[in-house]
Amino acid sequence: MAKSQKNPALTEELGTLGSILRVPFEAMLAHNYARVHEQGFSDIRAAHGAVFRNIGAEGSRIGDLASRARMTKQSMAELVAYLRKQGYVEVAPDPEDRRSKVVTLSEKGRTVFNMLADASNGFEEDCARLVGKAKWQRFRQLLAEVATAVESMRDENGTTAGAR
């Protein structure tokens, strides 16, 4: 990985997995949210991805969204409140548990979700052109295998079992 900064972060100097994964992830976020902003949705920020990435097709409870995003319910509730105020999500009582609220994407929210998905696909196409389609497909396959293996090690608290 090329060091572009005069004083790189210690993790970059060490070449940690996180520092390597962070480069394409942050580039993808910048690309995706730039595309959304170009389409007139300048009030959407990368932080809102915690909702868009984790919401179920039929909606999700705030607690479930928070758990999937690995953040507090309070933080997720703030994101949901903002997106609700802006018209991207709707919040209604959970028909199975009136104490809980279910968050669903509004039509406007589905539009943004689809834009983000399309932008992400476009980013991947750009990456495939840069490194070659076959390499990109192998990379994705291997990364999916690693993600599955790591996910299978998680316990119910989100901690990787056996981590030292």
Kindly state the helix (H) or strand (E) to which residue 103 belongs, with its residue range: strand 97-105
Give this prediction's pTM: 0.84
Cα(60)–Cα(101) distance, rounded to whole angstroms? 8
DSSP strands (E only) in the chain: 60-61, 89-94, 97-105
Complete domains list, the chain, with CATH: 14-153 (1.10.10.10)
pLDDT tens across the length of the chain (164 residues): 555 568 888 888 888 999 999 999 999 999 999 999 999 999 999 999 999 999 999 999 999 999 999 999 999 999 999 999 999 999 999 888 888 899 999 999 999 999 999 999 999 999 999 999 999 999 999 999 999 999 888 765 566 555 54
